[in-house]
A and B are shown apart, each in its own frame.
Chain A
Amino acid sequence: MTTATPSTYIGARTPRKEDPRLIRGSGVFTDDVTLPGMVYVSLVRSPHAHARIRRIDAAAARKEPGVVTVVTGKDAEATGVLPVFITVPGMNGSKHMPLASDRARYAGDAIAAVVADTHKAAKRAADMVTIDYEPLPVVVDATKALEPGAPILHEELGTNLVFTYPVKGGDIDKAFRDAEATVKLHIVNQRLIPNAMEPRSVVAKFEAGELTVWSSTQIPHFVQLILSVNLGLSQNKVRVIAPEVGGGFGSKLQVYAEELLIAHLAKTLGRPVKWTEDRREAYLATIHGRDLVEDVEVAAKRDGTILGVRIRTVANVGAYLQAFAPGIPTILHAFIIPGAYRIPAFDCEVRGAYTNTTPVDAYRGAGRPEATFAIERAMDRLADEIGMDPAELRRKNFVPPDAFPFTTISGITYDSGDYGPALDRALAMADYKGFEKRRAEAKARGKHRGIGLSSYVEICGLAPSKANSALGVGWGGYESARIRVHPTGAVQVFTGTSPHGQGHETSWAQIAADAIGVSPDDIEVRHGDTFESPGMGVGTFGSRSLAVGGIAVHNAAQKIREKVIQIGAHLLEASPADVVVEGGKVFVKGVPEKAKAFGEISMAAYLASNLPDGMEPGLEATTYYDPPNFTFPFGTHVAEVEVDPETGTIEIIRYSACDDCGRQINPMIVEGQLHGGITQGIGQALYETAVYDANGQLLSGSMMEYHVPTAADVPPFALDHTVTLTKTNPLGVKGIGEAGTIASTPAVVNAVIDALSPLGIKHIDMPLTAEKVWQAIRKAGEARR
């Protein structure tokens, strides 16, 4: 473990620049954008999960007061197809149009768009569009969708199989031949609904040949690129703005049907167009997350040494492939299953399947929570099987600190790590040693108490462009930054990242401030507008922003610093090596009283009459940073729970976590990410599940049924960290956006199973609802009788 030296601003708990406007309600979100002459869209969505569309009758809707037009799939073919950015070998892609014209493939598939002068008129008229459907057989379960005779969603493919994706290493047969102990688990990693606080919204206007689109998106540059290509507009004539974005969690990491459609309507109608989904629509038509079924087998020696892991996975991709869907259960899941452990043999195969359900794509953690859940549940099961303490089993199999950079059996190279200290600190915080006493005390009160841990490694810093290319990701993984210092010394940072709650305006200012030697207060960070962006931005997802976008900012700031030093040295008649840039001043080492203010240097850069020979005027720098590798944060989380056997209710009594994300730029933001992430992971463990009936109707279709946990559902979190710098980038940063979500789900489930293990209970499918827990306890009681 290395301890980072705190810099002036990097490492400070700087209050977020974003918060005053958000707290005061003065932030402008997409739905706040209202333009003169604007029309509103309401979408008619299929009530059937699978049906042929025989006829669409919009005559009555067209006659409604205020209705401008009703558009169906045949009218909107000019939008082109929705993009998929990842192609895995042998993939059967789906043709996905913004409006389905021949067949609806999930309940919520959009069929027609009603455009009217008011939102209300559009909504009312949408109810008057009559569609003659011929219902078709439905399949919602991915495993069943792959069985012979299952209803086929995309007839041109002749199969529901999207891909078969193997990742193998070592001799798995030998591992199981040599095994002294084996465990098997069947895991249902249930479907989740992302529930960003702000629903999606799109506003578009087309004026003087220029298309402007406001969208609640994590990837404005991709949206701009696709709009330009699909709608046949020169890219310089398409501007996409992601204003305030109220959360995404991957659900806004798309180029959605509505973005193409609303832009197309603005272009064809010549009036500004707005569409905003309501929460019920969001449940149906915004992507869902997870939905994997996994069969895990582990081979080990009786002393706990793991010999091999075999895993077979079926991933439900929903009715169509969305933008990043092919990469989630494959690249981001299969490769990371070995986790924090040295595993000599690995055999993984993931199959993807189309079903008559809402499309599934990235949801906070995206593949990595599934991988971590599989391996961390398997570790606990193995510990139980061989009678070893779960913490000791993990420690025994950890990749040792001297093995880094470490290439896993799945073939990826971990940059740096020291897993033991994070485990030790988490266990100490959790008073792991004193637990059995607490278990006994709880038992006396009639409660089952349990403790569970999860040690994770995640992939962040997506991604080296060459790795992207090798893995079938159809775009580079770099990020861009531009810093403009105005003549007066005002500093603007333009970033290609697109924050939606992450606080980049604050963290990027801290990074730039350290390099340029001015205060973060004097640095404005701008993002999410393709017309003022540094160039091509990739966006914010996969815990990539800091380790890629933050480094781009750092590198651009270094270029500014270099030029400031050169100009300073020239003006101070000193050697550049002796020039110090600090506190808004530039001076020769040891002579701070003869300083030039930062503004004097910037002014000199633009007066341009007294610059070093051959130097260009101006003070501006643009960089693209392409990371040489991913980053691999890690840590251990420990949950302690009590189960009420009479009602099956679970209370999380205590939660301790030690995370290592390399250098922390702003520890307050790191903690905020963990608080939210842990809570979200607890949501999957205990509460959240998207439930379809056999007809493909979403039963958990609103927040009245689907519980998103709040602060009221969780205990205070005890957080600690270690700092193991990565050598992948100059700041040694790794990423923290998803760690909480990745780690907490298995920690909580392991704790509950530990609590119930004295009853002989070894497994309960997520979410661990009160009824499931009660039923498990009851059945265990009957079994013992």
Chain B
Amino acid sequence: MITHPFTYAAPTTIDEAVKALGRSRDAKVLAGGHSLIPLMKLGLAEPELLVDIGRIASLREIKSEDGAIVVGALATHRSIADSSTIGKALTALAEAAAAVGDLQVRSRGTIGGSLAHADPAADEPAPTLAFDATIRVIGPKGRRDIPAREFFKETFETALGPNEIVVEIRFPAPAGHAGSAYAKFPHPASGFAIVGVAALVAVKSDGTIDRAAIGVTGAAAGPFRATAAERALVGTRGDASAIGAAAAKAAEGVTMLADLTASSEFRKQLVMVHTRRALERALERARG
């Protein structure tokens, strides 16, 4: 039960939404509500003002534009999982979206909400990092584009400024013979990622790996790129030993989380195993 009183605004344009946010020092943006509403019910978030951006229809779109796939902030996990555009070019994103919560959560929850909330166990930050997406935000000072690697800070912390709203996420379509995959170890109860790994690989015509990008979620205080593993893989032929050697570096230099379900030691193991599994599937797709 939400016991604290709050004001509710439902603007129909982004500008109105930004202005509405400015009316309170303690305002929150409401998108799908699948992170914020539970926190409010538990009394862990008590915003004075809720700005519901659900009526801004343009934010729901998923479209191709200038070699990028642009996903509106209000695109639901379900619409992302079901999008053929995303499924083909950004397979890891589609798989990550399909791995979020359950059908009800996927039908209401949005990618913009998930990224802005920055739960360290959310799924979509992993492919967002792996695809080097750009997060477009609009605030009182206008528009800015934040690269994914700069967007995620710590647990529940992002580069979003005061009263800035995520409006879209721009995923550059991977060039060449590319393939991607998402491998997840879910929490048995909550379904959140204990570890989730999104891997993107591109291969040259001679079969050597041209490019590798690995985004990891769940394992640490924030999502991260497994750069040591990426470097270890580029230039190899992507055989089992190369993948294994790269996966072994996936948690290098990162402090792993520890909780009731998984110690840091176990998380590290899961990062390595799921990196390998994601890479294997991504490579299969890149070669296919």
Tell me the smallest distance from the CB of A641 to a CB of chain B, in Å: 15
Interface CB pairs A-B, < 8 A, 5? A124-B3, A648-B266, A705-B190, A769-B188, A770-B266
Docked complex Cα distance between A699 and B261 (Å): 11
* CB-contact partner of A123 in B1, B187, B189, B270, under 8 A: B1
Neighbour of B1 across the interface among A278, A691, A703, A770, CB < 8 A: A278
The complex places the Cα of A699 from the Cα of B189 at a distance, in Å, of 14
Find chain B residues with CB under 8 A from A687 CB.
188-189
Query: Which residue on chain B has the smallest CB distance to residue A691?
Result: B260
Residue from A278, A647, A706, A769 in contact with B270 in the complex, judged by beta carbons closer than 8 Å = A647
CB 8 Å contact bits of B169-202 with A (1 = contact, 0 = none): 0000000000000000101111010000000000
| Interfacial chain A residues near B273, Cβ < 8 Å | 646-647
A577 interface hit (Cβ, 8 Å): no
Residues of chain A within 8 A (CB-CB) of B262 are 770-771
Which A residues lie within 8 Å of B192 (CB)? Answer: 704
- Closest A residue, CB atoms, query B269: A774
For the residues of A in contact with B, the DSSP-based class is: loop
Contact with B along A689-712 (1 / 0, CB 8 A): 001000000011001111110000
With A647-B185, A687-B188, A771-B266 known as contacts, the answer to whether A705 contacts B260 (CB < 8 A) is: yes
Contact of A707 among B1, B189, B263 (CB under 8 A): B189
Provide the B244-276 mask, 1 if CB < 8 A to any CB of A, else 0.
000000000000000011110010011001000
Given contacts A771-B266, A774-B266, contact A706 B261 (CB under 8 A): no
Decide: B189 and A705 in contact? CB cutoff 8 A.
Answer: yes
Answer yes or no: A120 CB below 8 A from chain B CBs.
yes
Asked if A703 and B270 sit within 8 Å, CB to CB, the answer is: no
**Once bound together, how far apart are the Cα atoms of A708 and B189, in whole Å?**
7
A34 to chain B, nearest CB (A): 16
Interface residues of A in 648-683 (CB under 8 A from B): 648-649
- Report which A residues bind B (CB closer than 8 A): 119-120, 123-124, 127, 278, 280, 646-649, 687, 691, 699-700, 703-708, 713, 769-771, 774-775
Which residue numbers of B lie inside 8 Å of A, CB to CB? 1, 3-4, 42-43, 185, 187-190, 192, 260-263, 266, 269-270, 273
With a CB–CB cut-off of 8 A, which chain A residues contact B266?
648, 770-771, 774-775
Report B1 CB to chain A, min CB distance, Å. 6
* A770 and B187 alpha carbons, distance in the complex (Å): 10
Residues from chain A with a CB closer than 8 A to the CB of B43 are 127
CB neighbours of B3 from chain A (8 A): 120, 123-124, 127
The chain B residue sitting closest to A124, CB to CB, is B3
Taking a contact as CB atoms under 8 Å apart, the answer to whether B189 and A703 are in contact is: yes
For residue B195, which residue of chain A has the nearest CB?
A647
Which one of A119, A648, A699, A703 lies within 8 Å of B260 (CB-CB)?
A699
Residues of A within 8 A of B260 (CB): 691, 699-700, 705
Closest to A120 in B: B3
- How far, in angstroms, from A646 to B266 measured CA to CA in the complex? 10
Contact (Cβ within 8 A) A706 B189: yes
Quick one: closest A residue to B263, CB to CB?
A: A771
Query: How many angstroms between the C-alpha atoms of A705 and B187 in the bound complex?
Result: 8
B residues less than 8 Å from A699 (CB atoms): 260
Kindly state the separation between the CA atoms of A123 and B270 in the bound complex, as whole angstroms.
42
Chain B residues near A708 (CB, 8 Å)?
Answer: 189
**Extra A-B contacts (18), CB below 8 Å, given A648-B266, A687-B188:** A278-B1, A646-B269, A646-B273, A647-B273, A687-B189, A691-B260, A703-B190, A704-B189, A704-B190, A704-B192, A705-B190, A707-B188, A707-B189, A708-B189, A713-B188, A771-B262, A774-B266, A775-B266
Q: In the complex, how many angstroms separate the beta carbon of A87 from the nearest chain B beta carbon? A: 37
Within the complex, the shortest CB–CB distance from A664 to chain B, in Å, comes to: 34
Across the A-B interface, the 7 shortest Cβ-Cβ residue pairs = A707-B189, A707-B188, A704-B190, A771-B266, A646-B273, A124-B3, A123-B3
B1: which A residues are within 8 A, CB to CB?
A: 119-120, 123, 278
Q: How many angstroms between the C-alpha atoms of A705 and B194 in the bound complex?
A: 12
Report the Cα distance A687→B190, complex, angstroms: 12
Chain B residues whose CB sits within 8 angstroms of the CB of A647 once the complex forms: 185, 269-270, 273
What residue of chain B has the Cβ atom nearest to residue A119's Cβ? B1
B243 to chain A, nearest CB (A): 14
* Minimum CB distance partner of A708 in chain B: B189
CB contacts (< 8 Å) of B4 on chain A: these are 124
Q: For residue B269, which residues in chain A have a CB less than 8 angstroms away from its CB?
A: 646-647, 774
Q: How far is the CB of B167 from chain A (nearest CB, A)?
A: 30
How far is B42's CA from A783's CA once the two chains are assembled, in angstroms? 46
CB neighbours of A119 from chain B (8 A): 1
**A437 to B94 alpha-carbon distance, docked (Å):** 38
**How distant is the Cα of A724 from the Cα of B1 in the complex, in angstroms?**
51
Residues of chain B lying within 8 A (CB to CB) of residue A703:
189-190
Contacts of B189 in A (CB 8 A): 687, 703-708
Q: B188 — nearest CB in chain A belongs to which residue?
A: A707
In the bound complex, what is the Cα–Cα distance between A713 and B189 (angstroms)?
Answer: 11
- Bound CA–CA A700/B259 (angstroms): 11
For B185, what are the chain A residues with a Cβ–Cβ distance below 8 Å? Answer: 647, 649, 770
A707 to B187, CA, bound (A): 9
Q: Across the two chains, which residue of chain B brings its CB closest to A125? A: B3
Q: Which of chain B's residues has its CB closest to A778's CB?
A: B269
Find chain A residues with CB under 8 A from B190 CB. 703-705
* Chain B residues with CB below 8 A from A706, complex form: 189
In the assembled complex, the Cα of A184 lies from the Cα of B3 at a distance in Å of 54
Specify the chain A residue showing the minimal Cβ separation from B2. Answer: A120
Which of A123, A647, A700, A706 has the most CB atoms of chain B within a 10 A radius of its CB? A647
Chain A residues, CB < 8 A from B270: 647
Q: Min CB distance, B246 to chain A, in Å?
A: 16
Give, as a whole number of angstroms, the nearest-CB distance from B239 to chain A. Answer: 18
Tell me the bound Cα distance from A484 to B252 in angstroms: 76
In the complex, A119→B2 CA distance in Å?
Answer: 11
Q: How far is the CB of A353 from chain B (nearest CB, A)?
A: 24
CB neighbours (8 Å) of B261 from chain A are: 705, 769, 771
Which residue of the partner chain A has the closest CB to B266? A771
> In the complex, A108→B163 CA distance in Å?
39
Q: Which residues on A sit within 8 Å (CB–CB) of B188?
A: 687, 707, 713, 769-770
Contacts of A123 in B (CB 8 A): 1, 3
The docked-state distance in angstroms from the alpha carbon of A646 to that of B273 is 7
- For A122, the closest partner residue in chain B by CB is B3
How far apart sit A707 and B186, CA to CA, in the bound complex (Å)? 12
In the docked arrangement, what's the CA distance between A381 and B260, Å?
A: 29
A123 to B261, CA, bound (A): 31
CA distance A687 to B261 in the complex (A): 10
Instruction: Please give me the residue from chain A that is nearest to B262 by CB atom.
Output: A771
Give min CB distance, B45 to chain A, whole Å: 15
Bound CA–CA A703/B260 (angstroms): 13
Chain B residues whose C-beta falls within 8 Å of the C-beta of A649 in the assembled complex: 185
- Measured between alpha carbons, how far is A705 from B269 in the docked complex, in Å? 21
- Closest chain-A Cβ to B119's Cβ sits at a distance in Å of 12
Point out the residues of chain B lying under 8 angstroms from A774, CB to CB.
266, 269
Separation of A740 and B209 alpha carbons in the complex (Å): 53
- A712 nearest in chain B by CB position: B102
Query: Nearest A residue to B276 by beta-carbon distance?
Result: A646
Greatest chain A CB density within 10 A among B3, B261, B273 is at B3
Chain B residue with Cβ nearest A704: B190
Q: How far is the CB of B52 from chain A (nearest CB, A)?
A: 21
- Shortest B166–chain A CB gap in Å is 25
Identity of the chain A residue whose Cβ is nearest the Cβ of B41 in the assembled complex: A278
Residues of B contacting A700 with CB < 8 Å? 260
- Across-interface contacts of A280 in B (CB, < 8 A): 42
CA–CA, A687 and B43, complex, Å: 28
Residues of chain B contacted by A705 (CB below 8 angstroms): 189-190, 260-261
Q: How far is the CA of A687 from the CA of B42 in the complex (A)?
A: 24
Tell me which residues across on chain B come within 8 A of A769, comparing CB atoms: 188, 261
Q: How distant is the Cα of A123 from the Cα of B4 in the complex, in angstroms?
A: 10
Min CB–CB distance A201 → chain B (angstroms): 14
Minimum CB–CB distance for A218 against chain B, Å? 26
Name the distance in Å between B162's Cβ and chain A's nearest Cβ.
29
Chain A residue numbers with a CB within 8 Å of B42 are 280
Residues of A within 8 A of B187 (CB): 704
Closest to B185 in A: A647
Q: Which residue of B has the minimal Cβ distance to A767?
A: B188
